[in-house]
Each structure stands twice: as structure tokens, then as C-alpha cells.
Structure 1
């Protein structure tokens, strides 16, 4: 390891973790548990003060769990580390420093001895007309809350309008992307909306149109084709249209035109067609592959360095279990969490002058929730369907949820579902909470009212 900043200045090493998502939090927690007191300082930098457990976003959107319970406050979990709420805007490894814009707008240079790059990914969009104006992703808790309120508010609007074309548009929901994110999000929201129609006498389940568009010839490529076919069949049994080998041409003004010549208006367009590495990496001198991911070795060190590590969606890590020579690990939560643990162990080994370990993990399988009491799973070649798969999905993800506090809160939410009915209320005011106050402030009252107010 080259001479570090700490060695030059005679202080203990500083480990900087860029990214406080699931990978970053897992790595930081393990570093806290492995390092002895005074061995190194840990700083975690992220623009958000919390980690979002994304596998629970569909259930948060459907109201099965409280949105606050699927996020973990970084300062609460990382009490032995420094947590910096800031946006990293550049990495200059030649000087072992990074540039960060703090929450107050101030820009600082942070020096490090060991850097952990785990900023994750963002939604991968395409230059489709209208996508930026009409679409919404599904990667943040804000998007999940918005979609819950939005879908329910479409039912409210459709129940009151007398315009048949507007009603049709309000009750049409389009999801683009047939991977896990799109399937689970759509299945949970459709299940919620289906339940909600019992409170709308003028809206029947058949009045809603749910459309899933996928460019490939199958959905859920993470599982076997047989399980993908099963999942598609279950969705279609619920009236969901699954369009394979189909792409979107335009979304302008909510008018959807698909490659199969189908055209319709939709007031809800959800984009879940893949992810790409965080754009922050473009402002770094770290080596990246053709997809913008940081190139790594099997020991999770960034190629060409000894003191920079990376993992998760932003990294291209060789897959030692694949027979293909240039194969890299898939951008999945399963790989990301296991990589984070090996990464943390290797950072500790580097500090102590020990040998580093290779990352090698054979994909165990996948579990997916398809709405209340429905699921699909394939684990070590064993296929589960329906209720058993749904229960396994919940058990697996609550086990992987960081911190005992959040595990308990989520289990509590599920238990509360048993004796009580699902809540199906839209809180659209959350998206513009000042609107009512601004309206009231700009409304002139009668002279007598103004006098009384004075």
C-alpha cells in the first residue's frame, strides 16, 4: 500500500465511504464491528441522511408497511462513525481526496486513506418523447409514497368525472420494465387498487386497465423461464396486460404509443426499465467499463489501486462462478450485500497487512411478492408459488433488513394487517404541503375580516 495521508501526517487512517445505501450501510456497520477502537476513523458521505431498503418499496407503496419503517437513519445506525450529509461531486484519487457539497451549500475537500465507492445506481432512462414530463421511477421512498397517493387519487377523480375519455385515462396504469422492480411495484399497486374499488360503487375492477411493457421476450429474467411464465400467467389472470417484445415510442401529453401499434391515454406511467451506475462516477479518475461502472478485481479493489474499493450496482466485479471469462456479477441486492461484507473484511485486512479475500458467490435464487398473499420464488432450484412464496419473500427480506429496530417495526406493521382492513386513503397534500396555505395567504377577505385579523 503506498504511503497514505495518515502516514504522512502521523494520524490514524481515515476510511471514507461514498454512499449510504444498502451496500454502504452494510459495509460501514461491518467495519464498525471489526475495527478495534482507535484503529481507523470512518466517514460515511451521502446526500440522504438515511438508507432505503428498496425491496420493501412495493409494500410501502401499497400500504402494507409504514414508509418510515423501510428507511434506516444513518446516524442512528452508525454511532461509531462520522455521517456527513453531502453530495460527492468529484473524486481525485491521484491526490486521495474527494469534493463534496454539504447540505448548506458549502463545498469541501475531504482527504482519505482508504476509499469505499458505493454510490449505487439511478434509473436508466431513454430518449423517448414525453418520458421526462409524464413518467416516474421507482427507486426512492418518495416515489413509492407519491405513486400510492397518485393511484388512489386517480380512483377518486374517476369516480366523480362524467367524461368517459378522461375516466378511461385516469384508470389506465402503464408500467415499463418487466424486471423485479417493475413486476413487484405493479403487482402491489394493482392489488391495493383492486381492494380499494370496494369503496367506490361506480368503479369495478374491470374498469381499470393495467399494462406492463417489456422489450424482451420474457419477464423476470432473474429467475428461470418456467417461473417467468408462471408469473406472467398469474398477472394475466388478474387482468393485467403483459406485452412482451414491445417498446414505447412516445408518452407525450400522456398519450402512449407502443411498437405493437397499440395507442391509449394513461395518467400513470411508471418507468422501471433498468438502472445505470451513479453519474457521480463520471467526475472521477477511477477506471470504468463501457457501462460506466467502476472496474474492480476479484478482491473488490478498484483496478490499478490498492486503497480504493467498490461494490454494488456501481461496480463491475468479476463473477468467479461463471464459465464466461469476462462475466461480471449481476446488479442485484443479493450480490451487493455479500460484496459489502467481503469489502469490509478486506479493508480491515489491508489495514492490518493481511491477505485479502476474493469475492465468490453463486447466485442462490430470487423471491418476489406479487401482491397480498401471492408470490413467486426460486431458491437453489426449488420453485415455490402463491402463499408459500409470498411468505418466503417476506421472511427473507425482513431478515436482510438492517437493524433490529426496523425488523421489529416491519413485523409489527404486518401483524396489524391481520385484524384490520388495509388503509386506502390518498394524502396528495404531501406532494405540495404549502399549496393550501399559499392559497389562503393570497386570498383577500372582506374588510371586516381583515380588521378582525389585525
Structure 2
């Protein structure tokens, strides 16, 4: 009898533990479906346009600050119903990370927090009536409006880049790069005779964090995933170039970490060319300033970023180079009730020693801007404008992963590299994912990769046959 009782208690305790874990991983929405008022019915309405790091951070912080209040409604409008967790995007190239786990479900996260969401594209702002107009003619009112439209690639007028180069701005771009590598291997496996050098040469232009990570991920894809599946192709025939216009790659890092990264790339036989500028990109080559030519049909552009061109249609003051003009509180100059953050905003850096510069267009900066703008909007709505907070960018460091077993990190002034840095990179970003399902899936993928070699496929539609 005692054994049965103990067994029953053990089973019951296990079930309770699983139930508690399930509730923790699936929090209840702030409002039940029948409780939540329509966005238009709230007394004070905050509309946030853009679902990237800036817009998402602003929305979640605002719902957190207004928890327990029923007078503030938050609406996020974005062209996609997912939030791209940018630090993990390069990992899609090597299939180290599944793209569905990088595309975080935006709608569910916002509804759970108590905000509303609509997938739409901003068309114009009706300043007189305080409404925004989206594609299809739908309009939404606002008392406070946040513009966080992000950025887009800047090709600097270099001929052929836009037409012939792959870009790296999100999940789909990373999948395109992976598929391009696989496609080249499929093509070469069918060739008889001499294989053109351009087929298996990959050129990544831009030696910042994104470009450096992409070059390393291509190496991982080729040597760890594709090599066993294409025994007739010598992976050492694949050439990977990383071009950077500055004297060093990863210019935002300390020189010691730059050297560590450069050594890692050298060991992977990635050819790094610094102080090098592309002059033209054609269908099968990259022409460099000085006359040199790299024969390649596979060019990836990661070298520049500019504000989203859509900001020019909103009737707001724009700095052609840096974005929408804002003051130190992130308010758009001359437009009370409108704020701008992220890559589309020209935000001056007020830190000592950085006077005259602008806050860099990074995910880290956009997240901090989102938190600040949320606090300032709430202060404005409550008539506490004397409590507005100036935005002061506080860089926490830089994490750059170069393969599953190596990273170069600088965190709060502490610099380290190697396997320990790679483990830190993974843990640091894993806990920052907003989707519990993605956390579990990515952790499971990383653990399984310790025992099973990666395998990748190229999924093509019937239109490509």
C-alpha cells in the first residue's frame, strides 16, 4: 500500500511539475478575447509602425509600464507578422539554425503583452486628423505615433551591386544565400570538363559583424554539410573572399579581437582583403579599384545601410544620410506627438567624446531607443513632460560568432575569444529569444549537432523546375 501511495505521489508531482512548466512556457494573454477593448476605443492611443527591434521593444515596454491601466491602447503595424531576431540570422546560411526559429511570432507576443497588431504597410500620415493610412486605404488613429521603419541596403551607387549581388537583410536573404551555395554544388556536380572558377567562388563585401559571420557560415556549410553529400567536388576548390574598405575587419572591436577573428578566418582559408573597394559587380566578376578582378557569380553585399526610403513620403523632416530628424528625447522635430527610432532615425550621440556623431544603426541601439521612447510617451500622455528622458546610447559590447566553436566577444569591457566565447554567445542570445518554442528548438538543434553531422536541402517550387 505504501509503495502504491509513494508511486501515486511521484506521478502526481510529475504531472504538477509538467503543468507548471507548460503554464510558464505559455503565459496567458493580458486580456481575454471578450475583455480587450478595440484599439480605437482606448482613451489614449499609441500607434507604433514597424516590428523590428525598435518597434517591438517600444511596444513591449509600453505594455509593461501600463499594466494595470485601462486607458492606454497600443497598436503595432508592420509589414511582416514576425520579428526577426537579427543576431541569429547568419546561422541560417549554414543551417545551424532553422529559419522558423529566427522569425519570432510577432502577433502572439504582442497579444500576450496586451497590445494589438495589424499586418499592413504604412502609406502616409494624415497629420491634421492624427491618423495613419496603410495600403488598401485603411486608416488608424493615434495620439502618439512612433516611426520605426528600419533600414535597407545602401549600394553607394556602385554599378551592378543591386542587380547581381545577394543582400543580407533578413531571414529570406539568408535562405537565398544558402540555396545559392547548394545550387552551385548541384550545377558543378553535373558538369563535364573544366569548371569555371566563378562557379565556386563566393565574395562577401563588407567586413563588419554581419559580413564576417556570413563568410564563416558559408565555410561551415561547404565543409561540414555539403562536402559529404558531394564526394565528386573537392571542398577546397571553393574560394571565399571577404572584402573590407577599412584597414581592419570588425572595426568596432578591439584590435586584439580583430586579430583573433582574422586568425580564425585564415585557418578556414577565407581570403580577407582589407583596404579594398569594389568598383563594379557584373554577372560573373567583381572589379576592384586598382584594376584587380575576382571571378565570381556569387556576391553577397553586407557593406552598407541607409534609412528606409518610405520615410520620404511621410511629410517629416529628413536628413538624407541618417534619417528622420529627432531631438534628444526622440521626438520628431516640429511634430509634437510623433517619435522616430531605429535605423530610420537620425539620433545624435550625446555621450562624452562622441559629439557630432550619430547613434549607430544596430539592433542593440534600436532596442534601447524603444525602451526610452516608451517611457517618454507615457510621461507625455500623463502630462509629465518635465520628466522626459534624454536618450543616451549605452553600448553593452559586441558578440561575433565564427562557427559553432569560436566567437570573439567584448562585453562590458571584457574581451575573450574561442570556445568559451562561442558558448557565451549562444547562451546570451538564447535567453533573449521571446518565443519559448524557439528557445527549445534551437537548444535541441545545437545539442543534436554535437552528435549528428548537419544535413541541408534546397527546397524549390515547381516554377523552378
TM over 0.5: same fold? yes
Matched residue, 1:52:
84
C-alpha separation between the residues in 1 aligned to 2:244 and 2:131?
42
C-alpha separation between the residues in 2 aligned to 1:279 and 1:292?
11
Identify unmatched segments of 5+ residues in structure 2: 1-39
For the structure 1 residues 201 and 404, does the alpha-carbon distance in structure 2 shift closer, same or farther, using more than 3 Å as the test? closer
Matched, 1:224 2:254: yes
Aligned partner (choices 53, 62, 77) of residue 31 of structure 1: 62
Matched residue, 1:177:
206
Contact 1:58 1:189 survives alignment (8 Å): no
Matched, 1:76 2:122: no
Aligned partner (choices 260, 268, 275) of residue 305 of structure 2: 275
Moved more, 368-377 or 201-210: 201-210
C-alpha separation between the residues in 2 aligned to 1:163 and 1:248?
31
Aligned partner (choices 359, 382, 388) of residue 391 of structure 2: 359
Matched, 1:108 2:142: no
Map 1:303-382 → 2, pairs under 5 A: 303-354=333-384, 355-382=387-414
Contact 1:28 1:344 survives alignment (8 Å): yes
Contact 2:257 2:416 survives alignment (8 Å): no
C-alpha separation between the residues in 2 aligned to 1:377 and 1:205?
29
C-alpha separation between the residues in 2 aligned to 1:319 and 1:288?
17
Q: Deviations over 1:270-290 (max 9, x none)?
A: 000121111111112222224
Aligned partner (choices 159, 162, 169) of residue 129 of structure 1: 159
Q: Deviations over 1:283-342 (max 9, x none)?
A: 122222241412222222222344122222112223232324322211111111111112
Partner SS, residue 376 of structure 1: strand
For the structure 1 residues 321 and 198, does the alpha-carbon distance in structure 2 shift closer, same or farther, using more than 3 Å as the test? same
Alpha-carbon RMSD across the aligned residues, in angstroms, is: 2.0
Matched residue, 1:444:
none
Q: 1:379: Cα distance to partner? A: 1.7
Matched residue, 2:234:
204
For the structure 1 residues 52 and 139, does the alpha-carbon distance in structure 2 shift closer, same or farther, using more than 3 Å as the test? same
Matched residue, 2:424:
392
Aligned partner (choices 193, 197, 210) of residue 222 of structure 2: 193
Contact 2:198 2:285 survives alignment (8 Å): no
Matched residue, 1:407:
439
- Could you tell me the TM-score, scaled by structure 1's length? 0.87
C-alpha separation between the residues in 1 aligned to 2:128 and 2:304?
32
Partner SS, residue 175 of structure 2: helix
Contact 1:282 1:292 survives alignment (8 Å): no
Map 1:228-307 → 2, pairs under 5 A: 228-307=258-337
- Could you tell me the TM-score, scaled by structure 2's length? 0.85
C-alpha separation between the residues in 2 aligned to 1:289 and 1:280?
13
Matched residue, 2:192:
162
Identify unmatched segments of 5+ residues in structure 1: 1-8, 437-454
Moved more, 40-49 or 356-365: 356-365
Q: Deviations over 1:138-158 (max 9, x none)?
A: 112111112112212212222
C-alpha separation between the residues in 2 aligned to 1:403 and 1:350?
31
Contact 2:331 2:339 survives alignment (8 Å): yes
C-alpha separation between the residues in 2 aligned to 1:363 and 1:420?
37
